Chains A and B, each alone.
Chain A
Amino acid sequence: MTHRVRAVRRLSFTVIAGIVLLAGVRPAGAVPVFSRKYQTSCTTCHTIFPKLNPFGQAFRLNGYRMPKETEEQVKQAPVSLGAESYKKIWPKMVSPSDLPGFAPFALNTKMGIIYSSAKDPAGKTVVNNDFQFPEEVNIFTAGTLGEHFSFLGEVTFGQETDGSVTTELEHAQLHINSPFGPEHAVNFKIGKIAPDVFDGFQEMWLMTDNGVDTMFTYSPIGFAGGTGLAEDVGIGLPAIVQGIEFYGVARHRIFYTVGMTNGMAPNLDTNPGATIVDGNSRKDFYARVDYKFGGMGLDGDTTGQKLPPENWRETSFRIGAFGYSGDGRGIDFVVTDPNTLTDYNQEDRSFERTGAYVSWCFKDLNVFGVVLHGSDKLQNFDQITGALFDETKPSFDAWFAQADYVIRPPFQVSFRYENLNPSDPAADNIRFYNANFSFLSRANIKTMLEYRRDAHESENYTVAGVLRFAY
């Protein structure tokens, strides 16, 4: 830190700008394809979409199949791509499979009214009142391919300020379910995925419109506490990765996952001609282990459990520990020393994230949260000679707690507090309150009113009215 100028950065405007920006790219999460396949309501799997209830969690971990699924439950018969008896003569013939008996596509549309008020660096209050109609449209595809394969895909079209549309491939993944061993014990997924290491708190599984940005969009890149929250350089926890994961459920209550990912993408600002999607040849790794006490088993097992007919209710406690190890060498970010105004190329040579997850369900209440510790090894290089100028090892601690409550199935509320403290004492901490009221006017039509306040810069806040419908 001897070469580092300790300067307090005003994060507030960056933070709010980041929130408004991020509001446009939330994954939708609910997949109406399955409602058609099983001829069942969204609320079979969702407390309020996209948040999953215990059955929905088991459905997802079972490779988008119902626990102990029977032929009677599948209302849209699949198209056979080979009779089961062909298994007997493999490899003389192609192994049998099937595909959905209908085009497995669904849509999700999101409209938003975003009102934000924030102070800019000059101290002037900037107010935006924005009708984002639509804010985004998601196309989903999902289903099963025979006995051991399933898939999920999502393409999001986002409305831009100039009227253009951005397209983002958010999910494209193939799952291999229980190819060997006891059922549910070993599964694989490959592709662009939301890693299960963030099961339960990644944004696609939250009932709120805002994700937990202190977990996923914090970037340590920069001087004196890093960049703050900014998705394009986020090196907090990667919400979506390109990688391979294996995961499973053992003894109904133990969940584990281990994965390997590309890691950080090339920084196109410093490497504009990049033609590969991995920023370096190194891979990132992650792992998580959970145990669930009480309630429905993670694979849907209900042996010995008395569960109420209200499928969002159970008395359970889940606890898990996770870690993520990344390598960002060779991926340069231009940073400016605010004291000398000298530009450097900065690399996050290695970063480690370790954390713990807890979730407690009691009647209509679900309280969950994460504590996270992050450490980074930042190196600054001279932009001309490429020589190493200095190295620092900053860290940060973050946590959040969220309480979701079902007043009645159509009316649900949520409150979250999140906090991030960089180790650099000169840096501001980042704190938010987030309150949500959700109303399901129909099982597939949701209206939300969400309020978020910056607890550090208390004059900064956003209010969002959101309408989402899936079909």
Chain B
Amino acid sequence: MRRIAFGTTLLLIAVPLVAGEIHGKVVCRGVKDCADAVVYVAAITGKTFPPPAEHAKMDQLNLVFHPHVLPLLAGTTVDFLNSDAVLHNVFSPDACADKFNLGTWPKGQTKSYTFKKECVASLLCKVHPEMEAFVVVVPTPYFALAKADGTYVLANVPDGAYTVKVWHPKLKGVQKPVTVAGAAAEADFEIAR
């Protein structure tokens, strides 16, 4: 799913901006870059979105979760792959992710979990306490991971009035109203501790 979002983002950056998108820049104060910031459209009253059939993927390689932050639509299933020669575990201490614990499994194997509702789920490995990742479960398919310089694009957003939110693992989130009306809308954010 992340690949889809990123692919879409890259495609949109490569071509002139088109109507039905929200783009802008997030300024992240106090951290090295904005690469972990997630920008997304908050829940739209009366609208639900079916989750994608394709599973998102998260790898455990060299004792690190890849990616560190994974935004996805509620209902998406994530396949957790162990690419290391050591046993890994994945669990979440967060109630919004049912405090799931997938146990341990060896290299090359995958275990899956479906994130059912809006949530910021911390992912941890009990075998290696320094490992940490975040799955940011959002209610709409309009989301993106900001680039290191803070720029982002939310693609294929229909006309309407929305609340756009920004989340970051170390900085306080912010939100603002944004209206899309037949053209690209711009929204910049600044987040800090």
Contact B30 A82 (CB under 8 A): no
Contact A70 B130 (CB under 8 A): no
Map CB proximity to B onto A80-122 as digits: 1 under 8 Å, 0 otherwise.
1111111011000110100000000000000000000000000
* Residues on the B chain within 8 Å of A83, using CB: 122, 124, 129-132
Q: Is A72 at the interface (CB under 8 A from chain B)?
A: yes
Closest to A74 in B: B32
Q: Is A71 at the interface (CB under 8 A from chain B)?
A: yes
Q: Is B29 at the interface (CB under 8 A from chain A)?
A: yes
Contact A93 B132 (CB under 8 A): no
Give A82 to B127 CA distance when docked, in angstroms.
Answer: 11
* Residues on the B chain within 8 Å of A81, using CB: 129-130
Give A80 to B68 CA distance when docked, in angstroms.
Answer: 15
Within 8 A of B (CB), among A320-355: none
Q: Is B31 at the interface (CB under 8 A from chain A)?
A: yes
* Residues on the A chain within 8 Å of B129, using CB: 81-83, 86, 93-94, 96
Give A385 to B123 CA distance when docked, in angstroms.
Answer: 73
Q: Is B93 at the interface (CB under 8 A from chain A)?
A: yes
Contact B30 A70 (CB under 8 A): yes
Closest to B122 in A: A85
Contact B126 A70 (CB under 8 A): no
Q: How far is the CB of A148 from chain B (nearest CB, A)?
A: 16
CB contact under 8 A between A71 and B170, given known A83-B122, A86-B124, A88-B93? yes
Give A93 to B132 CA distance when docked, in angstroms.
Answer: 14
Give A358 to B102 CA distance when docked, in angstroms.
Answer: 62
Task: Select A70's contact among B31, B93, B123, beta carbons within 8 Å.
Answer: B31
Q: Is B94 at the interface (CB under 8 A from chain A)?
A: yes
* Residues on the A chain within 8 Å of B32, using CB: 71-72
Contact A93 B126 (CB under 8 A): yes
Q: How far is the CB of B126 from chain A (nearest CB, A)?
A: 7
Contact B132 A72 (CB under 8 A): no
Task: Select B124's contact among A70, A71, A85, A94, beta carbons within 8 Å.
Answer: A85
Give A81 to B126 CA distance when docked, in angstroms.
Answer: 12
* Residues on the A chain within 8 Å of B94, using CB: 88
Contact B30 A88 (CB under 8 A): no
Closest to B131 in A: A83
Within 8 A of A (CB), among B105-164: 122-124, 126, 129-132
Q: How far is the CB of A122 from chain B (nearest CB, A)?
A: 68
Contact B122 A72 (CB under 8 A): no
Closest to A84 in B: B132
Interface residue range, chain B:
10 to 19
Closest to A73 in B: B30
Contact A70 B132 (CB under 8 A): no
* Residues on the B chain within 8 Å of A72, using CB: 30-32
Within 8 A of A (CB), among B73-118: 93-94
Q: How far is the CB of A79 from chain B (nearest CB, A)?
A: 8
* Residues on the A chain within 8 Å of B193, using CB: 70
Give A468 to B168 CA distance when docked, in angstroms.
Answer: 46
Contact A85 B132 (CB under 8 A): yes
* Residues on the A chain within 8 Å of B29, using CB: 70
Contact A82 B126 (CB under 8 A): no
CB contact under 8 A between A88 and B126, given known A72-B30, A83-B132? no
* Residues on the B chain within 8 Å of A89, using CB: 93
* Residues on the B chain within 8 Å of A79, using CB: 130
Give A93 to B126 CA distance when docked, in angstroms.
Answer: 9
Contact A88 B31 (CB under 8 A): no
* Residues on the B chain within 8 Å of A84, using CB: 132
Map CB proximity to A onto B173-193 as digits: 1 under 8 Å, 0 otherwise.
000000000000000000001
Closest to A92 in B: B93
Contact A88 B122 (CB under 8 A): yes
Give A2 to B102 CA distance when docked, in angstroms.
Answer: 85
* Residues on the A chain within 8 Å of B30, using CB: 70-72
Contact B126 A71 (CB under 8 A): no
Task: Select B130's contact among A71, A82, A88, beta carbons within 8 Å.
Answer: A82
Q: How far is the CB of B43 from chain A (nearest CB, A)?
A: 24
Give A71 to B31 CA distance when docked, in angstroms.
Answer: 5
* Residues on the B chain within 8 Å of A80, using CB: 130
* Residues on the B chain within 8 Å of A96, using CB: 129
Give A83 to B126 CA distance when docked, in angstroms.
Answer: 10
Give A71 to B32 CA distance when docked, in angstroms.
Answer: 6
Map CB proximity to A onto B31-62 as digits: 1 under 8 Å, 0 otherwise.
11000000000000000000000000000000
* Residues on the B chain within 8 Å of A85, using CB: 93, 122-124, 132
Q: How far is the CB of A39 from chain B (nearest CB, A)?
A: 14
Give A81 to B132 CA distance when docked, in angstroms.
Answer: 11
Map CB proximity to B onto A402-414 as digits: 1 under 8 Å, 0 otherwise.
0000000000000
Q: How far is the CB of A90 from chain B (nearest CB, A)?
A: 10
* Residues on the B chain within 8 Å of A82, using CB: 129-130
**Residue among A71, A81, A93 with most chain B CB within 10 A:** A71
Closest to B31 in A: A71
Within 8 A of B (CB), among A28-64: none
Closest to A88 in B: B93
Q: How far is the CB of B143 from chain A (nearest CB, A)?
A: 21
* Residues on the A chain within 8 Å of B93, using CB: 85-86, 88-89
Give A85 to B126 CA distance when docked, in angstroms.
Answer: 12
Closest to B132 in A: A83
Q: How far is the CB of B127 from chain A (nearest CB, A)?
A: 12
* Residues on the A chain within 8 Å of B124, using CB: 83, 85-86
Give A216 to B137 CA distance when docked, in angstroms.
Answer: 62
Give A96 to B93 CA distance when docked, in angstroms.
Answer: 14
Closest to B91 in A: A89
Q: How far is the CB of A420 from chain B (nearest CB, A)?
A: 49
- What are 15 A-to-B residue pairs whose CB atoms are below 8 Å? A70-B30, A70-B193, A71-B30, A71-B31, A79-B130, A81-B129, A81-B130, A83-B130, A85-B123, A85-B132, A86-B93, A86-B124, A86-B129, A88-B94, A93-B126
Other than A72-B32, A85-B93, give 11 A-B pairs with Cβ distance below 8 A.
A70-B29, A70-B30, A70-B193, A79-B130, A83-B122, A83-B129, A83-B132, A85-B122, A85-B123, A86-B93, A88-B93
> Which 5 A-B residue pairs are closest in the complex by CB-CB distance?
A83-B132, A85-B122, A70-B30, A80-B130, A82-B129
